[in-house]
Structure 1
């Protein structure tokens, strides 16, 4: 939706806040959407106390913490559309916002507030037999990769064999509240096979990195890398990845790399994507994992070529990573045909754009 010359651009407000240990992907996703739509609309990032830094080149408006601060900011800004990625929301909160904003789009909202939004992209999803509301788009198809990951799409299919020294990458996201990084490395130290191990530490990791480095000194070819690092390149260099079960498995599936998954918390444990039929080895809650189970899972794709190829084939067959165009087209539709703007003809459901 490119405005006609002289016609005032509509305004999109974007609010992202850290929630449920989701790491950096929500911020990166918001930046990709903003950069795609910036010539068509005025985009303002609403930044609260728990928001990541807004991408360069965009207007920002500081808000406090809590739903009332967001409502006050929306009352002042009067955007045409609110794009929100802030975890689970409440019905009462969203009903108030509906009186202020013509169109509301949520990402990965497991709360009752999603029912009051006009469109919800549920990229993260749980197994459920309940009927999904018509305005929910549920499934991995709405995932889209950043340029670095996209440039390495299906790299696993292009490898005929393992690296001369098989490479394990351990990555538990931006903060790793439960310190699964330490638990995983402690167990991996017991592996007796020749193996290169790279441990990635996120920007908000609050545990002792010195302990990790001391452990790494006790095993050959073991390295601890602190932020910043190029996640995509490091993932692509791996023969097997050990990671959390949030957004990281989606990025891994785009590239096609055998992957062992540990849930960081009960929220992640309930997510349905990183399972065996999609090419992953899911071991459940990381804090309960037994050493023998973890080591067997890591060695499986390294020692059994047919299992490694099967995992890669299942991941790459999903065809993930290209959802940005469909997501942005749906946002454009919500902007052009708001549910609560008088004088507009009611069109088809915006979620229909993706089906």
Structure 2
């Protein structure tokens, strides 16, 4: 006998510090759960993103205020609610709690996370004594979008840590807005390295700064290119010998493929995330707006000059098996939707 479909609601609210990835995670996992009845409640002012979501074939419901969700959720009577993006308040969870037996949040640093049944954390910090039982923190919390899956698999299959071209190729990729313009700061420091390099700068749709200053700096040295497109990082990953990026979700994209990587935090909260550290194959150099030229240059030279160092970094990243995450998350969410879970024993 076939079980009736479960109703699953995703609530995704835009958050400046987390960028577009929560929407990608929601769409990726919702596609894996198409056998169920899935609804995406979306709050964003980004019209390009809304247009993109409309093409997914998923049921998209736009909203402006969280209070609007109460009536819609009460009418749908969902079996599972998943929230991603903006941090929540206690009253938000209390408002929808009577209408759903199981609530799951991803990467919620608000007090609302204290009231949910399961809090899945990819942006985890150091372990702390007052962690609550329903927290599940680990690298498996990063869902892999299809375009990343394809790109990472191609790089993974090549399995080569050697410098690919005549010149070492460094990719600079600060996603999610780059509020402090670390792209410019990093490029300026790299141009002071007196060794032949090829440098590519990934400029995505979220980059908020004037690119003319980058173009002027690129003119000062050969073999610097600006790549301006929505998927700039994915486009450049197969060609990269080294990636320099921010320290939130972007390192997961790098680790999915296995590419030597230097990370720096875009803001203080990002400084607390501990995934992109040595234990997982990264060199982390602290807060980006305090980045010292000598520290960045030493990290770059360490990875470019020592093949064994690059190999160790790639080996640690690939040991995480990021490309298997989607199956783990799909099964976890289905267990929660069908009440097959016992978080105390997970």
TM norm. shorter chain > 0.5: yes
Q: Check 1:3–1:31 CA distance in 2 against 1; reply closer, same or farther (3 A cut).
A: farther
The SS at the match of 1:115 is helix
**1:316: Cα distance to partner?**
1.7
Per-residue Cα deviation, 1:62-117 (whole angstroms, up to 9, x for no partner): 2113x323334433444332111023212232122211223211111122211211
Q: Name the residue aligned to 2:189.
A: 187
Q: Check 1:197–1:134 CA distance in 2 against 1; reply closer, same or farther (3 A cut).
A: same
Q: Name the residue aligned to 1:102.
A: 101
The SS at the match of 1:321 is helix
Per-residue Cα deviation, 1:118-144 (whole angstroms, up to 9, x for no partner): 111111101032243222211112323
Establish whether residue 46 from structure 1 lines up as the match of residue 41 from structure 2.
yes
The TM-score, its normalising length taken from structure 1, stands at 0.88
1:19 paired residue among 11, 15, 18: 15
The SS at the match of 2:108 is coil
The SS at the match of 1:322 is helix
Greater mean alpha carbon deviation, residues 165-174 or residues 136-145: 136-145
Quote the RMSD (CA, aligned, Å).
2.2
Greater share of residues in helix: 2
Q: Name the residue aligned to 1:210.
A: 212
Greater mean alpha carbon deviation, residues 280-289 or residues 208-217: 208-217
Any residues of structure 2 matched to 1:260-275 within 5 Å, and which?
260-275=262-277
The SS at the match of 1:99 is helix
The TM-score, its normalising length taken from structure 2, stands at 0.90
**1:167: Cα distance to partner?**
0.5
Per-residue Cα deviation, 1:269-298 (whole angstroms, up to 9, x for no partner): 000111112111111110001112112212
**1:203: Cα distance to partner?**
0.7
Per-residue Cα deviation, 1:282-325 (whole angstroms, up to 9, x for no partner): 11110001112112212221112222222222222222231211
Cα distance in structure 1, aligned partners of 2:312 and 2:338: 44
Greater mean alpha carbon deviation, residues 260-269 or residues 10-19: 10-19
Q: Check 1:35–1:135 CA distance in 2 against 1; reply closer, same or farther (3 A cut).
A: same
The SS at the match of 2:99 is coil
The answer (yes or no) to whether the contact 1:156–1:312 under 8 Å persists in 2 is no
The answer (yes or no) to whether the contact 1:14–1:44 under 8 Å persists in 2 is yes
Q: Name the residue aligned to 2:342.
A: 349
Q: Which runs of 4+ in 1 moved over 4 A?
A: none
Length, aligned pairs only: 338
Q: Check 1:140–1:286 CA distance in 2 against 1; reply closer, same or farther (3 A cut).
A: same
**1:230: Cα distance to partner?**
5.1
Q: Check 1:141–1:300 CA distance in 2 against 1; reply closer, same or farther (3 A cut).
A: same
Q: Name the residue aligned to 1:341.
A: none
Cα distance in structure 2, aligned partners of 1:3 and 1:23: 39
Q: Name the residue aligned to 2:79.
A: 80
**1:147: Cα distance to partner?**
2.9
Q: Name the residue aligned to 2:176.
A: 174
Structure 2, unmatched stretches of 5+, are none
Q: Name the residue aligned to 1:59.
A: 59
Cα distance in structure 2, aligned partners of 1:351 and 1:73: 31
The answer (yes or no) to whether the contact 2:123–2:273 under 8 Å persists in 1 is yes
Q: Check 1:156–1:291 CA distance in 2 against 1; reply closer, same or farther (3 A cut).
A: farther
1:314 paired residue among 302, 313, 316: 316
The answer (yes or no) to whether the contact 2:18–2:85 under 8 Å persists in 1 is no
Cα distance in structure 1, aligned partners of 2:188 and 2:6: 53
Per-residue Cα deviation, 1:232-275 (whole angstroms, up to 9, x for no partner): 34123111100000011111112111111010001110001111
